[in-house]
Amino acid sequence: MSIKLEHVSYVYMPGTPYEKEALKDVSLEIDKGEFVAVIGHTGSGKSTLVQNLNGLLHPLKGTASLDGTDLSGKTQEAKQARGRIGMVFQYPEHQLFAETVYEDVAFGPRNLGLDNDEMDARVKEAMKFVGLDFETYAHRSPFSLSGGQMRRVAIAGVVAMNPDYLILDEPSAGLDPGSRRAVFAEIMALYKKRGIAIIMVTHSMEDAAKYAKRLLVINKGQIILDGRPGEIFLKEKNRLLEVGMDVPEVYKLADALRAKGLRLPHEITDAKL
C-alpha cells in the first residue's frame, strides 16, 4: 500500500502575473508504515506537497495516487481513497466548531454512514486514544478546554475516521513543552500501535530527527534530500545550511549525532541532546 506522486508539478494562479510554480516535477512514494518528516524553508512548498499527497490539491502535471487510484478523480473509489488519508492542519483547534467535544469528534465519521452505536464506539475509542476521558469531556464545549486539550480533540476527530495515512502540519506549533510531548506520544502511538503512516511537516529539525524514520528536505518546490534523518543531518550538513535551514539547530544535531556515532534518529532523546 502506498501513496505515489509521479512527476507532479503544481502551479498557483496559472496564467496570471502572480503565477507561482510551487512543486516542480516531484516523484515520491510513501508506503504504509512509514514515518516521514518534511522540512524546508518557509515557502519551499511543504504545504503544497502534503495537500497533493492527500488529494486536496490536484497536480497540474503528473499524478498523485493511492494504490493506483488517482487521488484527483471524481469517482467513488477516488473519494474513498482520499478518505484513507487524514489531515490535521496547523492549529487544528481553530477549526473546532461544534457545541460539544462529542459532536466535533463525530463530524468526520458522520459522513461514513455509521449507525449511532458504531458512531458512539468510534468517538469513545478516539477520545480514549488521545487521552481525553469520555465521561469528563464528551459533553463539554471544546472551547472550555486548554490549548493542548483542544488539539487532542482535533486529532481525535481524524483518528475517528480510521485513516491509513495521517498528515500533520506542524503538530506541535504553539504548544508548551508538556503538551508537545503529549501530542507526540499520541502520534507515536498511532504510528506504532495502529500502524498508521505518519507524514509530518515540521519546522523543528530536532523533532524530525527524534521521531521520523525518513526525512524529506524541500527546497524551491523540489525534494533535494530524501533519507534517514540522522544520515542527512550528519552527511548533508552543508547542503542543509546552503538551503537556509536553521544553522545552530543543524550544528547541534550534527554534533550530537557525531558524538554518539551514527545512531538511529528515534533513539535520540531530549535529554541526550
Measure the CA–CA gap between 242 and 137, rounded to whole angstroms.
Answer: 48
Q: Does residue 151 interact with ligand ADP by CB under 6 A?
A: no
Among 3, 4, 28, 47, which residue interacts with ligand ADP (rule: CB under 6 A)? 47
- Backbone φ and ψ for 84, nearest 5 degrees, come out as -85, -5
Closest to ligand ADP by CB, 20 or 124: 20
Q: Which of 272, 273, 262 is nearest to 230 (CA)?
A: 262
Among the candidate windows 44-52, 71-79, 129-137, 183-191, which touches ligand ADP by CB under 6 A? Answer: 44-52
Q: Are 131 and 183 in contact (CB under 8 A)?
A: no
Q: Does residue 37 interact with ligand ADP by CB under 6 A?
A: no
Measure the CA–CA gap between 240 and 246, rounded to whole angstroms.
Answer: 8
Q: Does residue 40 interact with ligand ADP by CB under 6 A?
A: yes
- Backbone φ and ψ for 44, nearest 5 degrees, come out as -75, -20
Among 39, 45, 150, 198, which residue interacts with ligand ADP (rule: CB under 6 A)? 45
CB of 88 to ligand ADP, least distance (A): 15
Q: Does residue 53 interact with ligand ADP by CB under 6 A?
A: no
Residue nearest ligand ADP (C-beta atom): 47
Number of C-beta neighbours around residue 244 at 10 A: 12
Q: Which of 160, 162, 167 is nearest to 52 (CA)?
A: 167
CB of 117 to ligand ADP, least distance (A): 40
Measure the CA–CA gap between 84 and 48, rounded to whole angstroms.
Answer: 19
CB of 187 to ligand ADP, least distance (A): 19
Footprint of ligand ADP on this chain (CB under 6 A)?
A: 12-13, 20, 22, 40, 42-48
